[in-house]
Structure 1
Amino acid sequence: MSGQRMKVTIRCRHCGERFILRGKQDRGKVETGFKQCLCGNTYDLDIQNEPV
């Protein structure tokens, strides 16, 4: 199903900051627009997806 809405929880492993975002799943990837944590971390993240 193309364009399915997802709830995405992102937690930074460096500083512990948590972000809860909405995104759309398209072709197996979820796009939220998230670029980096407030501390500058861009790759060491815990990411969890669940359908809305």
Structure 2
Amino acid sequence: MRIKIKIRCKQCGERFTLRGKKERGRIETGFKQCLCDNRDQFEIEEDGGTSWVQLN
């Protein structure tokens, strides 16, 4: 299933809107890092605002 994902960098505040694939509860977008080189501190929202995933 293809879904829309909103990603916000916790370091610089940059926002990204991507489309990803959701399979078995896991979302894959291919997103690797922010423009500020941050690789793991993000807030990720599935479009619709119902579920938030927070990465350290």
The residue number in structure 1 matching 2:7 is 10
Structure 2 Cα separation of the partners of residues 18 and 40 of structure 1: 14
Q: TM-score normalized by structure 1?
A: 0.85
RMSD: 1.1
Q: Give the % identical residues.
A: 56
TM-score (norm 2): 0.79
**d(CA) in 2 for partners of 1:50, 1:25:** 12
- Which position in structure 2 is the counterpart of 1:46? 43
- Which 4+ stretches in 1 moved above 3 angstroms? none
Larger radius of gyration: 1
Offset at residue 50 of structure 1 (A): 2.7
Structure 1, unmatched stretches of 5+, are: none
User: Comparing both chains, which one has the higher relative contact order based on Cα–Cα distances under 8 Å and sequence gaps of 6 or more?
Assistant: 1
